[in-house]
A and B are shown apart, each in its own frame.
Chain A
């Protein structure tokens, strides 16, 4: 019942918030949401405590037939791949609720949607049935669309619609792949068992895997399917960006690993070289596009595009080390991008702009945002993969695991890692170094060096979520064993299982061709 409670708590919380009889103040609603999400975090920690790290396969399994006719079971389980993501979902949902401070309209629906997303994401990570996964995958879509289109920035309708269309296509492709699986294999078995060539020809496998790749590629997002992300991020409010970058993108990479690699290991092995190239292109494209951005949020958004490419590279290489690296990269990208969006949010709230052409010298000790700036330096360094923080060990594992399989793609991705340093250094240098000024550079020295800027100080309690994220990033960077303990068995099993089956397939094929020749 533990895993069900991870769904029930946020869903019942959503209902409770919506049906609350009186109309409580936004502050009280926020506290209720925080309380519910704290319970969810506690339950996730209980799941962590009950989790047996030595055991491969699903744990704490719950199975209940639901609509047997179409193969839909209520089947939950957790393993080393989903547990870290469930934890990070709980933590970042709580962060998102905590940093929602000045909500001006419809607070009740806002917090209800936040809880709904959190529950749906948990459901998607825990679901052990393809249709159940799809239900939760779609369930998360509508509240997020609402969060962007109601509480977003000035151009929110465009961004929200784009997000809706892209993600709806992604959902359709995934559903199509799942249903196609049933159709082509001729059985309504939607459990998570690898589909091997005895059951389905390679062409069919490639077709279904292709649909899944594009579907999840939209969600991750991979170039050129990324176009919805920068707009969604720039228009979404800070807490929504934190959730979007930290948690929701992970649905894509999780789906890629669980369903792409997990269901179609043979087809995956066939496509892997192309996927590695795709990953390298995605990394380089995201990094180069980020360099040219002047909006801080867009820059961080494009950096997400680049950094999620590493996960595809690791999944393509499919070695034990690289898959562990993929889990690390998902977790550390979740933490780091959440941190960066949070800090950009603070800058935006205090200065009213995110434009790198306008902001200068925010590190100023008395009138600027020195503490936010210091945290920002830590955040961008973590993202650039400086050792001692989570980004480094993740990238190291990904590269180390992939270089033997795809040397060129790995080296190109490493160039992308170098480019990360370029754009984030430009961000820090432009906005935080120099003399404090919040004016467009006019070329007139007198105007540009106006000294009357005085920003409202950031209250210590506003920085608590950021400090917690920084602490998590540093702890994960210094003691990576804390995470690898949870995931290593799962990722190693996954890599060897898929390699075994693809090896078998190629062995079979060669045997067949040998027989054909004979």
Chain B
């Protein structure tokens, strides 16, 4: 690092530290050491440090625009041939992602002030969000696989604690467990990849790894099998983070956590996972089979997630599956080596999804209900919320010219020639998503007023302000995207493609309008349809499949080990003990008392011993 760098750049490493320091600052309240005055000061302190992170980030962006991308590098740990470093790449893309993370964190923290108004452990929430934010802002800037892994694992930990925030509830307990273990499986696989790469390539910097991957490809350094295994190990981590099939289960269950954390999880956490995958892609691309796996995972997640979302009756789950589906689309874009579009997609999706989840949070905070069959007629009573919901939905669906529309257009245009099948996947996902958004909108905001929606005032301004501000940002998103990606421009696709995208969106809206809705008959009465509906509503029975395969396998092995330990190992030990006692008892009786017999025994023993020793000395 040269001293010539401007001050904000030199201290960019502080940005993740702000988040972590927010956690430390909240600890006195979170641990109950300060009980007077309530936990609010912790929240204010966290807001302050997050604001600092946002401001610092924008200063860094201003400098980088002027002097170009920079790289920060610090030594962390060296031993023998191992050199672990902390590296940050200050490119505009990374910094844009950083600003997305810190801004969303700020917005969510303001939102949480309203949402968790009377929560007694508010300080704990803010401590965890600070930790969360710190880890995420490190991940997006990291230029180094080791640090990316390091921080991704910290994200796993903080997700676990945030999902388990209301740990006294039984559903939360299982949700937190599944969130941790699912991600941990991905993380352990990723660790295998990281360790193997570290041993093979030496450096952990992404740029060096790309160089190594190029060499490996040219000189056939690794066998195809090793390459495939490596690729799959590297994919597994982001797959877990982005809730892709078959590791998607946790995101749906994670909806048991507090909503402000769900906002972050569905928008920026999945973005972090996808960004890590983006950085790993040149290495994954070493193996064509790994790329195929990635494509398959993406396509299955995109369509499967969108289908499952339509069958959900839980407000939050209906959209969390949609997150899985959109990240599936991003995975396809990454696998087909379209990093620019993937990033734009992540950006547009992150903002719109966050807005959608904020409006969902407002509904839940007002009605204390997230069951679609018990909601209805909120439209006129909560105008700001319904507006936010509409804008968020429109931002996600490719119909109106908001963020995701342009991404869909770019992507479909790119795919038409090389792989039309995936273009169809995109259009189908768009259609299903549109249908889902309209379906939920109808049942929540239109229709009859239900018992639970009778007294529903608009939310307080702690929640309304961030929601409306974000709605404005989502509306202005195409302009921002135009500025981020001026060449070739976000509108660089022909009219027929635009019409195809809009057409799929419109068809989805139509289907959403026509879907039958009846609170009392939310499960279809026709047997054929009901089977399909049950299949989707219970997520292709994935939890059951998991329980009967992996969980059973591990539990069975654990039980078998325990049996072996108790009956074979312990049994053997105890048996030997008993045997020696018994022989001692027996020997007691065979003692003759004659001196000669003792001497004889001694001599025999000595002869045997010496003979054995002599044999050993000659033998070897």
Contacts and interface: CB of A to CB of B under 8 A. Distances in A.
Identify whether the interface residues of B are mostly helix, strand, loop, or mixed.
Answer: helix
B195 A183 contact: no
A410 B508 CA distance: 50
B562 A289 contact: yes
Nearest to B577: A165
Nearest to A206: B620
Contacts of A57: none
Given A285-B561, A289-B565, A388-B150, A484 B173 contact: no
A201 B620 contact: yes
A505 interface: no
B558 A425 contact: no
A387 B561 contact: no
Contacts of A364: 168
Interface residues of A, number: 68
Given A421-B180, A433-B164, A434-B173, A324 B188 contact: no
A317 to B, nearest CB: 11
B188 A415 contact: yes
B180 A425 contact: yes
Instruction: Determine which residue in A184, A374, A396, A425 has the highest number of CB atoms from chain B within 10 A of its CB, and name it.
Output: A396
Interface in B565-586: 565, 569-570, 573, 577
A393 B191 CA distance: 12
B196 A403 contact: yes
Nearest to A384: B184
Nearest to A162: B573
A418 B198 contact: no
A414 B557 contact: no
A76 to B, nearest CB: 27
Interface stretch (B76-84, B369-377, B399-407, B433-441): B76-84
Given A321-B80, A364-B168, A404-B199, A204 B620 contact: yes
B617 interface: yes
A203 B619 contact: yes
Interface string A396-438: 1101100110010011001101110110011001001111100
B80 A320 contact: yes
Q: Which interface class (under 10, 10 to 19, 20 to 34, 35 or more) fits B? A: 35 or more
Given A321-B81, A370-B32, A435 B168 contact: yes
Most chain B beta-carbon neighbours within 10 Å: one of A201, A207, A293, A400: A400
Interface string B148-171: 011101101100010010011010
Interface in B88-120: 120
B38 to A, nearest CB: 14
A407 B191 CA distance: 13
Q: Which of B78, B177, B619: most chain A CB closer than 10 A? A: B177
A107 to B, nearest CB: 32
Contact of B154 (A165, A202, A387, A425): A387
B79 A321 contact: yes
Nearest to B191: A414
A386 interface: yes
Given A184-B616, A201-B620, A291-B558, A400 B195 contact: yes
Contact of A387 (B120, B149, B164, B620): B149
B279 to A, nearest CB: 18
A293 B192 CA distance: 28
B103 to A, nearest CB: 25
A396 B558 contact: no
A364 to B, nearest CB: 7
A227 interface: yes
Contacts of A396: 191, 195
A480 B573 CA distance: 41
Nearest to B30: A374
B216 interface: no
A288 interface: yes
A190 interface: no
A227 B181 contact: no
Contacts of A292: 558-559, 561-562
Nearest to A202: B620
Contacts of A370: 31-32
B524 interface: no
Contacts of B191: 396, 399, 414, 417
Interface in A309-325: 319-321, 324
A293 B565 CA distance: 11
Given A321-B80, A386-B153, A421 B167 contact: no
B188 A417 contact: yes
A228 B160 CA distance: 35
B613 interface: yes
A434 B166 CA distance: 9
B278 interface: no
B93 to A, nearest CB: 25
A237 interface: no
Contacts of A384: 184
A421 B181 contact: yes
A227 B180 contact: no
A436 B156 CA distance: 26
Contact of A484 (B79, B156, B170): B79
B168 A434 contact: yes
A266 to B, nearest CB: 14
16 contacts: A183-B613, A184-B616, A203-B620, A374-B31, A386-B156, A387-B151, A392-B150, A397-B79, A404-B199, A418-B188, A421-B180, A425-B180, A433-B167, A480-B77, A484-B79, A488-B80
Given A207-B616, A418-B184, A492-B80, 16 more contacts: A201-B620, A207-B620, A285-B561, A291-B558, A324-B80, A387-B151, A392-B150, A396-B191, A400-B199, A403-B195, A414-B195, A418-B188, A429-B176, A480-B77, A481-B78, A484-B79
Instruction: Give the top 10 A-B pairs by smallest Cβ distance, nearest first.
Output: A203-B620, A320-B80, A291-B558, A292-B562, A418-B188, A288-B561, A292-B558, A201-B620, A387-B150, A433-B167
